Amino acid sequence: MSSPPLPALSLDRLAKAFGDHVVLDGIDLDIAAGTVFSLLGPNGAGKTTMVRILATLSTPDQGRAAVFGHDVVDEPAIVRRLIGVTGQYSAVDEVLTGVENLRLTGKLLHLGRTETRRRTAELLERFDLTEAADRRAGTYSGGMRRRLDLAMSLMGEPRILFLDEPTTGLDPRSRRDLWQVIQQLAADGTTVFLTTQYLEEANQLADRVAVLDGGKLVADGTPEELKQLAPGGHIRLRFADRDQLSAAVHALDDRVVAAGNHALADVDQLTLQVPSDGNAGDVKRLLYRFDELDITVDQLTVHLPDLDDVFFALTGHSTRVDTAA
């Protein structure tokens, strides 16, 4: 019988406090190799603190963290060879050119001249920076600087890449370009640990999402599993007049609305909101019932809980403005 594969990251009762403020309170977590894991949390939740501990930049007060079985406190040199880190703030030296930034990174990693030149050329092409390679990084756009920053973190060919809010401050197009890069990294087998203030980003990229609040993980699962934790899924119907709306309300029974659920009618907006998880069967039963009674629906929309709803339900914080930590 073969043993289970070694997790890329393993946290066992990890704890960290700053004075009386507990940031991480006994975190247990295993992350499989070759997956994209996203950590969400409100301002000050401890996301960046966790990344710093895993990247050997800070030490835990209690507990243990390991990267492919190597303890981040006892074996920091080995861990650093296995990881790459891109933070909220770019590590790019804007005085140097793109080539010079990459070659300096290679030198710091002791890659050797030949390997450094090979990796530099490869990464410039991969991140579409070849034409700008000899320009000072200070002349780059925000998206180009972020791509260069990410390229620098990949010089050592890390098995795990920590991305701490990598798309903060980027315009939507640059953000989506970076998403494609992250998806390709994951497809190539790199484990990605992503913290983000964009719920759509986690939904698009992550195989698994965890929510950190009050020092504890309050939820952990796939994006679809987490969406099941939030209430609010419904079918919204609009009618031409109050008579049609009233008829629709009276038509509802346990054939179309599950016991214990309650539909909400808005006579001013002429709408009816029927609880549902959005499955096709619910919609078909509802429309069939109305058709039986000659009730005309002017408009129908289905709302499913998204990660924003999950985040608010679990933490009481809105993610529409800012969830950075």
| CATH code of the domain covering residue 119 | 3.40.50.300
Specify the 3-state DSSP secondary structure of 262.
coil
Higher pLDDT residue, 25 or 1? 25
Percent of the chain beyond pLDDT 70? 91
What would the mean pLDDT of 83-104 be, rounded to a whole number?
A: 90
Q: What is the overall mean pLDDT for the chain? A: 87
Asked if residue 267 and residue 144 are part of one domain, the reply reads: no
- Specify if 310 maps to a domain: no
What's the confidence (pLDDT) of residue 194?
A: 95
CATH at residue 281: 3.30.70
Does residue 195 register a pLDDT over 50? Answer: yes
Is 169 or 289 the better-scoring residue by pLDDT? Answer: 289
Last residue of a domain, one of 228, 261, 287: 228
pLDDT computed for residue 196 by the predictor: 85
Flag whether pLDDT at 139 surpasses 70: yes
- Most distant CA pair in the chain, distance: 80
State the Cα–Cα distance between residues 251 and 299, nearest whole angstrom: 17
Same domain, 42 and 121: yes
Of 97 and 213, the structure prediction assigns the larger pLDDT to: 97
Band the pLDDT of 29: cuts 50, 70, 90: very high
Top pLDDT among 79 and 278 is at 79
Tens digit of each residue's pLDDT (9 = 90 or more) over 61-75: 999 999 999 999 999
Could you tell me if 218 and 238 lie in one domain? no
Instruction: Give the range of the structural domain holding residue 254, as residue numbers without chain letter.
Output: 234-303
Q: What is the mean pLDDT of residues 123-145?
A: 93
Do 223 and 238 belong to one domain? Answer: no
Confirm if 53 and 72 have CB atoms less than 8 A apart: yes
> Which residue would you say has higher pLDDT here, 169 or 265?
265
Is the predicted pLDDT of residue 321 greater than 50, yes or no? no
Within a domain: residue 3? Answer: no
Alpha-carbon distance of 2 to 321, in angstroms, equals 47
Q: Is the domain of 161 the same as that of 252?
A: no
Residues 156 and 286 in one domain: no
Return d(Cα 248, Cα 290) in angstroms, integer: 7
Residue 133 located in a structural domain: yes
Buried b (16+ CB within 10 A) or exposed e, 255-277: ebbeeeeebebeeeebbbbbbbe
Pair 261, 181 in one domain: no
Q: Can you give the pLDDT at residue 303?
A: 79
Strands 271-275 and 234-238: antiparallel
Number of domains in the chain: 2
pLDDT at 140 over 70: yes
* End-of-domain residue from the set 170, 195, 228: 228
- Give the tens place of pLDDT for each residue, 250-275: 888 755 565 556 788 888 889 998 88
Look at residue 77 and tell me if it is in a domain. Answer: yes
What is the pLDDT at residue 67?
97
Which whole number is the average pLDDT over 23-49? Answer: 91
Residues 148, 266, single domain; the answer is no
Q: Same domain for 141 and 29?
A: yes
Residue 231 has pLDDT above 70, yes or no: no
Residue 115 pLDDT: 96
pLDDT at 34: 93
Dump pLDDT digits (tens) for 278-316: 678 888 888 988 999 999 999 998 877 777 777 777 776
| Residues 212 and 242 reside in one and the same domain | no
Are residues 255 and 223 part of one domain?
no
pLDDT value of position 60: 96
The residue out of 185, 213, 228 marking a domain boundary is: 228
- Does some domain include residue 317? no
This prediction has a pTM of: 0.76
Tokens 């965890």, located at residue = 210
The pLDDT value given to residue 26: 95
pLDDT at 256: 55
Say if residue 69 is exposed, middle or buried (CB neighbours under 10 Å; 0-12, 13-18, 19+): exposed
Structure tokens at 76: 């920091």
